[in-house]
Amino acid sequence: TPSPPLNTKPHIKGKMADSKGTVTIRTRKFMVNRLLNRKQMILDVLHPGRGPVPKAELREILAKKYNVSNDKCVFVFGFRTAFGGARTTGFALIYDTLNDALNVEPKYRLVRNDLAKKATGSRKSRKELKNKKKKFRGIKKAKVGGGGN
């Protein structure tokens, strides 16, 4: 019997899952960090038949799962999708209060969660303003370059 040609693809029966397929979240290395008033864990997100799950959706799911009243206290980051998709791994931090999160989290993560404003203007102009302010003291410092910080 002749062998089939090499460039043909096998038939795949059945349908692909819809775009809103099921999402399963598993936690590993769960730890309650009392010094920083948070719960921290590694998340394994299983999402067969769909792309990577948005972080906002993961925050909502985690807030529901851990009975968090404000989903702004949930921070998810560092996600990497495994080759072939269907599984993504990342980190999650759940703070006891919003104030704890504001005190501990780095500014760039607060900006990502809409808890802080990103600095405006170019990096060069901000540095020039900072160095110009070094030359003044007191009230005059606030008047240099439009005031502010």
Task: Quickly count: other Cβ atoms within 10 Å of residue 59's Cβ.
Answer: 20
Report the C-alpha gap between 114 and 105 in whole angstroms: 13
Nearest to 73 by CA among 33, 48, 105: 105
Higher pLDDT, 14 or 54: 54
What is the average pLDDT score of the chain? 85
Does 10 have pLDDT greater than 50?
no
With a threshold of 0.85, does the pTM exceed it? Answer: no
Does 132 have pLDDT greater than 50?
yes
| pLDDT digit string, tens, across residues 43-77 | 999 999 888 999 999 999 999 999 999 889 999 99
